[in-house]
Amino acid sequence: MKKLTDKNKRFIFGLIAIIALIGGWFMADGTGSEIQLKDILPFETQYVWMMKQARTILETYHVNGDKDKKSDEELFYGAMKGMVAAWGDPYSRFVDPNELKQEEIDIEGEYGGLGLYIGSRDGKILVVSPIEGTPADKAGLQPMDEIVKVDDDVVLGWNINDVVEKLRGKPGTNVTVWVRREGHDELLRFDMTRELIKIDSVNQKRLTNDVAYIRITHFTQKTAEEMQRALNTALETKAKGLVLDLRNNPGGLLDASVAVADYFLDGGEVVSIKGRVEKANEVYEAKPGVLFAGPVSVLINEGSASASEIVAGALKDRNRAVLVGEKSFGKGSVQTLFKLPDGSGLFVTIAKYYTPSGVTIDGVGIKPDIEVKGKYTGDLKDDAQLQRALKEVEGLLAKASDK
C-alpha cells in the first residue's frame, strides 16, 4: 500500500467524503498550507465599507439592537460562514475556534448526540445513515430522509454545519426531528433523547460453516486493526468465503478504507484522487499479497457513502467481489482543513476520488452487480439482501470446488 508522505498527510485532512456525524466529524490528523498570505489581496474597499454600513444600520434600527448587539468576533465568524456558504459547496465550511476544538475532541469517537450521519444534496439536508444502536437508529430514521425541522426551527436552506450543531448536545437532553420521507404525504416526527455515542466500527459473526460475515459501520482510526483481527478470526475458524456488509456505512478516513481494501487485493490501485493543485493528486495502491483470498460478496445500499464506496468500488473494479444490494449514496470528494491564525478552521473541497477504472461516483453512486431491494437487519432470516449475498458466495465456493 502506498504510504502518504508527511507533506501529503498535512495536506489531505481526513474524510474522503466528509459526511456530518451528529456530534462530530471524522478527521485525519494534520493540516497545512503553503499559501503565501502576503500575496493575498484584501477585499475591495467598497465591500468592506458596505459591511460597516450594514452593521451600523442593524445596531441602529433593529428592534432588539441593544439587547442582541454582537461582538466583532461574532460578526466576523458569521460573515466567514456566509462567505464559504456562498461558494455553493455544501462540504466546504468554516468553523470557529470552539467548534474546531469540539471536532478534534469528537474524533476520539465519543460525543453527545443522536448517532446520525447527514449529508447535503440539491440544497437538502439528507440522512445518510443512522449508526446501529443509537437514538437515531432506535427511533427509525432512514437513509435519504430529508430533515425539515429540528425542534421549533425549520432548517430548510440551512448550512449543514448549523444543522449538525442544532442536532448535537449534552447526553440526556431531548430533541424532536421532523423529516420528509418518500412515499409519505406528511412529515414524520421523531422524538429522541441524546446519548453519549461510543462506536465500534467492526463486528462479525458466522453465517454458515464456510462463510463468515463482517460488518463495518464506518471507517475510523481503529478500523484497519479491527478488520485485521476479524479476518484473522475468520481464517482461524476455517472460513472459506466472506460477506462484507457496508450498508448504511457513511464513510470515514481515507487511510482506513485503503487498508481494508488492501486485505483483499494483491497489489494494484485502490483509489486515486485528483484536484487542481499537485498535492491534491495521489494514487493509493495495495501491497503485494492478500490477507483473505476466498470469495467475497459486498453489501451496499443508499446509505453507503464515501470511504465505503472506495472499498466497494475498488473490489468491484478489480473483479475481487460481487456487489449486492442497492446503489450507493454517491459522495466522492476530498476535504482538507486549513487552520487560521485565531484557531478557527476552513474545510475546503480540494479533489474528487476515482475508482481503479477511472470512474468518479460523486453525485452518482456505485451500482451493485446484483440489485436486491430490502432493508438492513443483519438477521439472515429476514434480510433479503444478506440472503442473496450469502448465495453468491456459496455459488463461488461451489464453482471453486468443482475445478
Q: What is the largest CA-CA distance in the chain?
A: 84
Q: Which of 81, 279, 316, 331 is catalytic?
A: 331
Please tell me the number of Cα atoms within 13 Å of 329 on its side-chain side: 33
Q: How far apart are CA 368 and CA 129, in angstroms?
A: 18
Count CB-CB contacts under 10 A for residue 305: 31
Q: What angle do CA 26, 130, 325 make, to 5 degrees?
A: 105
Q: How far apart are CA 170 and CA 189, in angstroms?
A: 21
List phi, psi (to 5°) of 311: -65, -50
The SS3 call for residue 149 is strand
Count CB-CB contacts under 10 A for residue 11: 22
In the block, which residue shows the cell 468465503? 241
* Whether 162 is catalytic: no
Q: How far apart are CA 322 and CA 319, in angstroms?
A: 8
Q: How far apart are CA 43 and CA 365, in angstroms?
A: 39
Q: Which of 96, 145, 245, 317 is catalytic?
A: 317
- Check: CB of residue 351 under 8 Å from CB of residue 273: yes
The SS3 call for residue 163 is helix
* Whether 306 is catalytic: yes
* Whether 328 is catalytic: no
Q: How buried is 31 (Cβ within 10 angstroms: 0-12 exposed, 13-18 middle, 19+ buried)?
A: middle
Q: Which of 306, 308, 328, 333 is catalytic?
A: 306
Q: Taken in order 36, 38, 39, 44, is the CA torsion positive or negative?
A: positive
Count CB-CB contacts under 10 A for residue 340: 16
| C-alpha distances in Å from residue 44, one per residue of 34, 84, 88, 318, 355 | 24, 18, 21, 52, 42
- Mind telling me the catalytic residues? 306, 317, 331
